[in-house]
Amino acid sequence: MANLKAALIGCGGMGRAHANAGQALGVEVVAFCDVIEAAAERAREEFGGRYATTDADRIMRDDSIDLLYIATHHDAHHPLAIAGAQAGKHMMLEKPMCIMRHQAVEVAEAVEKAGVKAVVDHWFRIQPTTQKIRELIPHPRLSHGQLAMENYNTGRVGAKWLWDKDDGGGLLVSTAVHTVDLLCYLMDSAGDRVYAESHLFEPEHKGTSGYPDVLVGTIVWQSGGLSTIISTDQGFNPAVSKWFHEVWDGERSAVLSSHTARVDFGGADIDTIDLNELSAEEMAKVRGAYPIHANLLEAIRTDGDTICNVHDGVKSVSICNALDEAARTGKPQDVAR
Ligand SMILES: NC(=O)c1ccc[n+]([C@@H]2O[C@H](COP(=O)([O-])OP(=O)(O)OC[C@H]3O[C@@H](n4cnc5c(N)ncnc54)[C@H](O)[C@@H]3O)[C@@H](O)[C@H]2O)c1
């Protein structure tokens, strides 16, 4: 297969990680697009390539481009992914696939209709720790998923735009969607019903949308399994890490910590996998953008499926929307199917 040609849309921190991963896998990243011209130009200077532009339509019309990396703010995921599918481009879609379920469904339909390959960048799925849990605990009964990050109010971490109604969509769908997706993957199921409470402890610096900075919820899975979830920016603790998950099946259990790089098993033949023992170079091959890109390229090459396809993208957004609605109304919500 000749080298694929890609365009990056959204030339910020994550977009540049995708350009890096693509190049490391032999993709030619030929075009760079951002609403901020200087950001697109900076990325083109950093990675080489033919042109920088603020016009996403130019990318869509460019028949030499096979592949898009969409790493913009969240409001643009929906229109860009639909335009990309209609233009016949394969796509690496940043999370959340969309802010709202109905948008995600439209993206899934457009991708199916166009017959292009797409992967949603829920890379926690692909790493060896997660894969080992799937192997040893294929049918969990219970799980817990947690996003617990440093307080955005400090201004030291995170992006303010996440709290914006249009750009971001709030902490749950912006960031804890990773946890929801990982629970979908580990429970090997889709959401059936959810319960939730939420709270906005610190409205300062969190925009005017009123999104909660804490949500505590329960997910009932179609498989009959149960999960609890916490999404909060009320403080990081290295003992549990920003991302923390637990899984039980009645005989075996797993605890996923250290930003999902370490898993400790109970009742299984092995005790621990700790990816922190790998060299930085080895680690980069099994976590983050690189393995997700490799998975997408393999799907394109073999006409196979990706590890997190557009239907998976719909599932996690559907659960996030239902949790938000359950917290807003104080009533359990069925997860739309
Ligand atoms: N998968 C992960 O682990 C992970 C980690 C961090 C961020 N992300 C995701 O990556 C995406 C980008 O996040 P980031 O941290 O790089 O943000 P960022 O603010 O650093 O970069 C986003 C860039 O997109 C540009 N942009 C916004 N709207 C655009 C549009 N309509 N067209 C073209 N460019 C546009 C902005 O100007 C900015 O340069 C988000 O979806 C975020 O949730 C994923």
Ligand 1 and 181: CB distance under 6 A: no
Pocket-testing residue among 54, 73, 78, 316, ligand 1, by greatest number of atoms within 8 A of Cβ: 73
CATH code for the domain in which residue 281 is found: 3.30.360.10
**300 three-class SS:** helix
Ligand 1 and 72: CB distance under 6 A: yes
Same domain, 323 and 185: yes
Taking the C-alpha atoms of residue 46 and residue 282, their distance in angstroms, rounded to an integer, is 24
Same domain, 111 and 136: no
Question: End of a domain among 106, 121, 136?
Answer: 121
Say what the alpha-carbon torsion angle 272, 273, 279, 283 is, to the nearest 10 degrees: -150
Residues 52 and 37 sit within 8 Å (Cβ to Cβ): yes
Residues 34 and 40 sit within 8 Å (Cβ to Cβ): yes
Residues 122 and 96 sit within 8 Å (Cβ to Cβ): no
Domain containing residue 19: 5-121
Same domain, 115 and 166: no
Same domain, 280 and 201: yes
Given the DSSP bridges, would you call strands 272-274 and 214-221 parallel, antiparallel or unpaired?
A: unpaired
Predicted local distance difference test score (pLDDT) of residue 1: 59
Query: Is residue 180 in some structural domain?
Result: yes
Taking the C-alpha atoms of residue 255 and residue 143, their distance in angstroms, rounded to an integer, is 10
CATH code for the domain in which residue 75 is found: 3.40.50.720
Ligand 1 and 284: CB distance under 6 A: no
Residues 162 and 95 sit within 8 Å (Cβ to Cβ): no
Question: End of a domain among 70, 86, 121?
Answer: 121
Predicted local distance difference test score (pLDDT) of residue 149: 87
Same domain, 151 and 195: yes
Query: Is residue 307 in some structural domain?
Result: no
Query: Is residue 303 in some structural domain?
Result: no
In whole angstroms, how far apart are CA 94 and each of 51, 57, 241? 22, 19, 22
Phi-psi region of 39 (alpha: psi -120 to 50; beta: other; left: phi over 0): alpha
Query: Is residue 306 in some structural domain?
Result: no
Query: Is residue 158 in some structural domain?
Result: yes
Query: Is residue 302 in some structural domain?
Result: no
Distance (Å) from CA 12 to ligand 1 centroid: 6
The two most distant CA atoms of the chain are separated, in Å, by 56
Same domain, 130 and 210: yes
Same domain, 107 and 166: no
Measured from the Cα of 14, ligand 1's closest atom is 16
In whole angstroms, how far apart are CA 65 and each of 123, 167, 216? 24, 27, 43
* Residue nearest atom 39 of ligand 1, based on CA coordinates: 12
Range 145-177 burial, b when 16+ CB lie within 10 A, else e? bbbbbebbbeeeebeeebbbeebbbbbbbbbbb
Range 76-87 burial, b when 16+ CB lie within 10 A, else e? bbbebbbbbbeb
Pocket-testing residue among 34, 91, 124, 260, ligand 1, by greatest number of atoms within 8 A of Cβ: 34
Pocket-testing residue among 20, 44, 72, 167, ligand 1, by greatest number of atoms within 8 A of Cβ: 72
Same domain, 206 and 283: yes
Query: Is residue 311 in some structural domain?
Result: no
**133 three-class SS:** helix
* Residue nearest atom 5 of ligand 1, based on CA coordinates: 14
Same domain, 24 and 129: no
Same domain, 116 and 193: no
Query: Is residue 295 in some structural domain?
Result: no
Distance (Å) from CA 131 to ligand 1 centroid: 27
Measured from the Cα of 161, ligand 1's closest atom is 19
* Token output for 118: 């797409």
Distance (Å) from CA 93 to ligand 1 centroid: 11
Ligand 1 and 95: CB distance under 6 A: yes
Same domain, 47 and 136: no
Distance (Å) from CA 142 to ligand 1 centroid: 33
Ligand 1 and 35: CB distance under 6 A: yes
* Residue nearest atom 18 of ligand 1, based on CA coordinates: 12
In whole angstroms, how far apart are CA 76 and each of 79, 211, 294? 6, 19, 24
Whole-model pTM over 0.85: yes
Same domain, 134 and 223: yes
- Per DSSP, what are the bridge partners of residue 245? 145, 256
Q: What single-letter amino acid sits at 8?
A: L
Taking the C-alpha atoms of residue 66 and residue 56, their distance in angstroms, rounded to an integer, is 14
Distance (Å) from CA 77 to ligand 1 centroid: 10
Predicted local distance difference test score (pLDDT) of residue 163: 78
Residues 63 and 82 sit within 8 Å (Cβ to Cβ): no
Distance (Å) from CA 75 to ligand 1 centroid: 10
Measured from the Cα of 13, ligand 1's closest atom is 16
Predicted local distance difference test score (pLDDT) of residue 153: 55
Among residues 109, 78, 68, 123, which one has the least CA distance to residue 260? 123
Instruction: Specify the number of domains making up the chain.
Output: 2
pLDDT by position in tens, the chain (length 337) = 568 999 999 999 999 999 999 999 999 999 999 999 999 999 999 999 999 999 999 999 999 999 999 999 999 999 999 999 999 999 999 999 999 999 999 999 999 999 999 999 999 999 999 999 999 999 999 999 999 988 765 554 556 788 777 788 899 999 999 999 999 999 999 999 999 999 998 887 777 778 889 999 999 999 999 999 999 988 888 888 999 999 999 999 999 999 999 999 999 999 999 999 999 999 999 999 999 999 999 999 999 999 999 999 999 999 999 999 999 999 999 999 8
Question: End of a domain among 68, 101, 121?
Answer: 121
